[in-house]
Amino acid sequence: MTAININKTVKTTCPYCGVGCGVLATPQPDGSVSIKGDPDHPSNFGRLCSKGSALGETLSLDDRLLYPEIGGKRSNWDSALDLVAEKFSDAIQEHGPDSVAFYVSGQILTEDYYVANKLMKGFIGSANIDTNSRLCMASSVAGHKRAFGADTVPGTYEDLELADLVVLVGSNLAWCHPVLFQRLETAKVSNPGMRIVVIDPRQTATCAIADLHLALKPDTDVALFNGLLAFLAESYSTNDRYINSFTEGFEEAIQKAGPCEIGHVAEKTGLSRQDIALFYKMVAGTEKTVTVYSQGVNQSVVGTDKVNAIINTHLATGRIGKPGMGPFSVTGQPNAMGGREVGGLANMLAGHMALENPQHREIVQEFWKSPLVADKQGLKAVELFQAVKAGKIKALWIMATSPVDSLPDADGVAEALKECPFVVVSEVTKSADTVAYADVLLPAAAWGEKDGTVTNSERRISRQRQFLDHPGEVKADWWQIAEVARKMGFGEAFSYLRPGEIFKEHAALSDYRNSGSRDFDIGAYKGVSDEGYQDLTPFQWPQQVDANPSETRFFSEGDFFTKGRKGQFVPVSYQAPRKLERAYPFILNTGRVRDQWHTMTRTGKTARLVSHIAEPFAEIHPEDADQLGINAADIVEVKSPFGKVLVRALVTERVREGEVYVPMHWTDQFASRARIDAVVGPETDPSSGQPGSKFTPVSVSKKSMDWFGFAVLKHKPAEFPGDYWVLAPVSGGYRLEFAGQGDPNFNAIASVEGTDTADCMRVEDTTAGWSRRAFWKDDLLEAAIFISKNPVEVSRQWACGLLSSDPMSKKQRFQILAGRAPADRPDPGAIVCSCFQVGCNQISEAVKNGADSVQKVGTELKAGTNCGSCRSEIQSQLDDLLKEAMHDADLAQAG
């Protein structure tokens, strides 16, 4: 990569989560890029989490896709785009506009998204454009539209700080929106009266801050919130003025919810009556309540009902759009919100207009001067890939998402792509699983190379700015789409030269024939100059022409976007989750880990981020593990009728009995078989079309392995030994976990070594079933391989440091074969703080020596003092250790 301007600091926005933190990127003379939080950005005020701080380490070009390819061979832009335009045009001509589709992503910029949506809905004339936001935000969108008449997020981040009660439903905020979580942590310190409730079947890192954790049974949230609605009504805690003046449907909703019978709620949710009563009283008695919700709510076959059950409680109390109050759906991806603004979902239209509204269609068509506008919903993600499989889609363009990893029934999706006559993939990397299915591969400009805007969870629009030159022949996504549109004969409407022109058009459409009828209005920016766009500072919408509202919250005094401008209570009834069959007796829950982003194409490149959790796992309750004969670190198979994975068992009380949790991140690039979406079923919510990615009936069994291996390797192996393997980068090379059945195949393992010219040392005891080998070249370690009958007990932290060591003495060589860190360098244990590489053993040691707060641990070890993402984990470790110490003291006293 080459910088545009060395030493010049550029203000941009983080490309990961929906918090939307401002970043200062400064290319350095040595070719690296220094990354800092932007102190002036109103989302993060200078903070960055572990992923944001490591952005500089993800910019290398080693795996980048740099040139267009046709059929796996290097081509050029003209030929590649001619072919795309031709195939799309042919399909449309022969089979009609609904025979083609785009599948895009909340990780493209608003400008990219706007152009893709315009081409499909206004010029091709189909609404077959859907996005990975279907897997993410669709239930929130549907719930908002039902309640508010528009997809409006009423509140702001500040509300979390101003609240006296924050309820986090299906949100692991500490790991998934870390900087917002840190703002909440800080607010709690200055407002000790603040209460935090976490509603999540699992005990997550977020629970470290919770006053109450409600570990409910999966998919029983509607029962809990319907009970709350009834409780609010019965305890006279509703706001009758708000209900009467600004809403409709209260009576029906109350009727549907039924009387508040805490016993029944307890039965359905599996929670204790005391906890439920405590929660209900807290909400009833706290005016300033914010309910934050995320994928535990959205990714469910009853996701939209969950959203409305939550919103109903806020409408009933009038706690909405006021400082410190409101329902708050946090977005996942950096531009999930921008995608919604441009109407990037198959059932939406541009500028927050509705596809099913003839007047809206007319407005959009008139503004675009387009020949037509799609007048019926397109295929939603899961349906779309089913249609691909059924042969109904003849040409498909995938952009900035990896459906063979992230869609449910992912193996089915891969099959579908194999059969699709023409697949285009726009990507930044060659190593994404979906790349293998492309007929045409288009190299896209990555973060740092591209230019445009994104909108975060609180409707704040910020610039992503370019500070690196385009490597190879990469091009921005908007350019690729506009160029194809031109080649398809729509040149006039797609004559953009710069992203700023697209932004201006998007702003103008938001204001076109609006006059307050639509929530999304950034008309104030419709005349923005090139310089103005270049210098754009973060702002929240709405921003109407001539009005510069300082108040950007919605609905404090009603004025919803429904026909009669009234907010709608949506009566929802609890539906019991489906019964588990004998063959699949566990509920599979899936989600994220702290330091990885989705399919790991960027965060999986940095040793620092991988050090937190280097292997896919299944969290399983000790009782279940016991019954299944599963021990810690065994390999387990998690299987459904759709597919299976092999992952490491993590036996823990953090999950409920009968449930397992597997992260979504590991792909075929990093593991033998860990694509969890191959297991997840494709059932969707009937209103939103969002899949229930948090609930799949599965079986769990121990996969007996005859031997286990661990290796650190300077070079990536050409082949992987055994039935199970997981690869991860470390400083100076790779680490490999592996395991297999039968005799360890030493020939295969030799292929891992890949170093016939190196010096080799080995010790082994084949009867006891272990072997250790190490290889050196010029006294530098090339590879160290440990094999044993049981999971290898070598300190991973120590071993991973070996590749970057200096030339080794004899003594050091023997230490490697002994498989042990020298006594003067104790094993730091599993890494908790990835910034300073501090492990759990070090933290325990510090606590034993008197560090009794996160702050003191920080002073002692620096852990948690940079990005702060690990502070909640340090807190939980501290809580556990202090509990243990107290228990020991009690025992001592009793004895």
Ligand X SMILES: Nc1nc2c(c(=O)[nH]1)N[C@H]1C(S)=C(S)[C@@H](COP(=O)(O)OP(=O)(O)OC[C@H]3O[C@@H](n4cnc5c(=O)[nH]c(N)nc54)[C@H](O)[C@@H]3O)O[C@H]1N2
Summarize as ranges the residues that interact with ligand X (CB under 6 A). 17, 105-108, 132, 135-136, 169-172, 175-176, 199-202, 204, 218-219, 221, 294-296, 299, 332-333, 399-402, 405-406, 426-429, 432, 444, 446, 450, 477, 589-592, 594, 596-599, 601, 664, 676-677, 680, 693-694
Token pair, residue 580, equals: 């588990």
Q: Is residue 178 within the footprint of ligand SF4 (CB under 6 A)?
A: yes
Q: What share of the chain is helix, strand, coil (3-state, %, to 5)?
A: 35, 20, 45
The residue count for binding ligand SF4 (CB under 6 A) is 14
Residue with smaller CB distance to ligand SF4, 188 or 602: 602
CB of 482 to ligand X, least distance (A): 14
Residue with smaller CB distance to ligand X, 446 or 705: 446
Helix (H, G, I), strand (E, B) or coil at 420: coil
The burial of 653, by beta-carbon neighbours within 10 Å (0-12 exposed, 13-18 middle, 19 or more buried), is given as: exposed
Query: How many other β-carbons are positioned within 10 Å of the β-carbon of residue 592?
Result: 18
- How far is 362 from 343, CA to CA, in rounded Å? 15
| Those residues with Cβ within 8 angstroms of residue 241's Cβ, 6 or more apart along the chain or in another chain | 318
161: left (phi over 0), alpha (psi -120 to 50) or beta: alpha
Residue with smaller CB distance to ligand X, 105 or 286: 105
Which is nearest to 734 in space by CA: 751, 717, 709?
717
CB of 596 to ligand SF4, least distance (A): 11
Structural contact between residues 457 and 481, judged by C-beta atoms closer than 8 angstroms: no
Token pair, residue 385, equals: 């890939």
Q: Is residue 602 within the footprint of ligand SF4 (CB under 6 A)?
A: no
| Contact partner, 179, from ligand SF4, ligand X, Mo ion, none, Cβ < 5-8 Å per class | ligand SF4
| Contact partner, 44, from Mo ion, ligand X, ligand SF4, none, Cβ < 5-8 Å per class | ligand SF4
Residues in 699-738 at the binding interface with Mo ion, rule: CB under 5 A? none
Structural contact between residues 84 and 75, judged by C-beta atoms closer than 8 angstroms: no
* DSSP-derived secondary structure for 95-106: H-GGGEEEEE-T
- How far is 428 from 443, CA to CA, in rounded Å? 6
| Contact partner, 640, from Mo ion, ligand X, ligand SF4, none, Cβ < 5-8 Å per class | none
Residue nearest to Mo ion (CB): 332
Q: Which of 3, 33, 38, 44 binds ligand SF4 (CB under 6 A)?
A: 44
Name the segment binding ligand SF4 (CB under 6 A); options: 158-166, 174-182, 188-196, 807-815: 174-182
Long-range contact pairs involving 862-865 (C-beta distance under 8 Å, separation at least 24): 862/833, 862/836, 862/838, 863/832, 863/833, 863/836, 863/838, 864/833, 865/836
In degrees and rounded to multiples of 5, residue 881 shows phi and psi of -65, -40
Residue with smaller CB distance to Mo ion, 136 or 232: 136
Residue 17 one-letter amino acid? C
Residue span 127-166 as binding mask against ligand SF4, x where in contact by CB under 6 A, dash where not: ----------------------------------------
Residue with smaller CB distance to Mo ion, 339 or 729: 339
635-648 CB burial, b ≥16 within 10 A, e <16:
bbbbbbebbbbbbb
CB of 37 to ligand SF4, least distance (A): 7
Residue with smaller CB distance to ligand X, 320 or 407: 407
- How far is 214 from 232, CA to CA, in rounded Å? 19
Q: Is residue 16 within the footprint of ligand SF4 (CB under 6 A)?
A: yes
Residue with smaller CB distance to Mo ion, 318 or 408: 408
Which residue, chain included where needed, has tokens 């531009």? 335
In degrees and rounded to multiples of 5, residue 639 shows phi and psi of -135, 145
CB of 340 to ligand SF4, least distance (A): 18
Q: Is residue 19 within the footprint of ligand SF4 (CB under 6 A)?
A: yes
> 329: part of which helix (H) or strand (E)?
strand 326-329
Residue with smaller CB distance to ligand SF4, 447 or 666: 447
Structural contact between residues 131 and 105, judged by C-beta atoms closer than 8 angstroms: yes
Name the segment binding ligand SF4 (CB under 6 A); options: 44-52, 114-122, 251-259, 750-758: 44-52
- How far is 93 from 770, CA to CA, in rounded Å? 65
Name the segment binding ligand SF4 (CB under 6 A); options: 69-77, 171-179, 211-219, 427-435: 171-179
Residue with smaller CB distance to ligand X, 16 or 88: 16
Residue with smaller CB distance to ligand X, 591 or 709: 591
State whether the Cα torsion 24-25-29-30 is positive or negative: positive
In degrees and rounded to multiples of 5, residue 204 shows phi and psi of -105, 175
| Contact partner, 221, from Mo ion, ligand SF4, ligand X, none, Cβ < 5-8 Å per class | ligand X
Residue with smaller CB distance to ligand SF4, 17 or 802: 17
| Contact partner, 694, from ligand X, ligand SF4, Mo ion, none, Cβ < 5-8 Å per class | ligand X
Residues in 517-546 at the binding interface with Mo ion, rule: CB under 5 A? none
Residue span 308-337 as binding mask against Mo ion, x where in contact by CB under 5 A, dash where not: ------------------------x-----
| Those residues with Cβ within 8 angstroms of residue 271's Cβ, 6 or more apart along the chain or in another chain | 214, 215, 216, 224, 265
Structural contact between residues 510 and 365, judged by C-beta atoms closer than 8 angstroms: no
CB of 35 to ligand SF4, least distance (A): 9
| Contact partner, 400, from ligand SF4, Mo ion, ligand X, none, Cβ < 5-8 Å per class | ligand X
Which residue, chain included where needed, has tokens 């935000």? 137
CB of 106 to ligand SF4, least distance (A): 13
Q: Is residue 878 within the footprint of Mo ion (CB under 5 A)?
A: no
Which residue, chain included where needed, has tokens 């005799």? 743
Residue with smaller CB distance to ligand X, 13 or 601: 601
CB of 164 to ligand X, least distance (A): 21
| Contact partner, 428, from ligand SF4, ligand X, Mo ion, none, Cβ < 5-8 Å per class | ligand X
CB of 139 to Mo ion, least distance (A): 12
Token pair, residue 54, equals: 């490591």
State whether the Cα torsion 349-355-359-362 is positive or negative: positive
CB of 429 to ligand X, least distance (A): 5
Query: How many other β-carbons are positioned within 10 Å of the β-carbon of residue 581?
Result: 10
Residue span 332-361 as binding mask against Mo ion, x where in contact by CB under 5 A, dash where not: x-----------------------------
| Contact partner, 283, from Mo ion, ligand X, ligand SF4, none, Cβ < 5-8 Å per class | none
| Contact partner, 699, from ligand SF4, Mo ion, ligand X, none, Cβ < 5-8 Å per class | none
Helix (H, G, I), strand (E, B) or coil at 37: strand
CB of 444 to ligand X, least distance (A): 3
Give the pairing type, strands 770-777 and 780-788. antiparallel
Q: Which of 20, 97, 721, 740 binds ligand SF4 (CB under 6 A)?
A: 20
779: left (phi over 0), alpha (psi -120 to 50) or beta: left
Token pair, residue 342, equals: 């441009």
208-231 CB burial, b ≥16 within 10 A, e <16:
bbbeebbbbbbbbbbbbbbbbbbb
Residue with smaller CB distance to ligand SF4, 269 or 298: 298
Q: Which of 17, 91, 104, 136 binds Mo ion (CB under 5 A)?
A: 136
Q: Which of 48, 404, 438, 633 binds ligand SF4 (CB under 6 A)?
A: 48
Residues in 49-108 at the binding interface with ligand SF4, rule: CB under 6 A? 49, 51-52
> 701: part of which helix (H) or strand (E)?
strand 696-702
For the chain, the distance separating the N- and C-terminal CA atoms, rounded to the nearest angstrom, is 66
Residues that bind Mo ion (CB under 5 A): 136, 332
Residues that bind ligand SF4 (CB under 6 A): 14, 16-17, 19-21, 44, 48-49, 51-52, 177-179
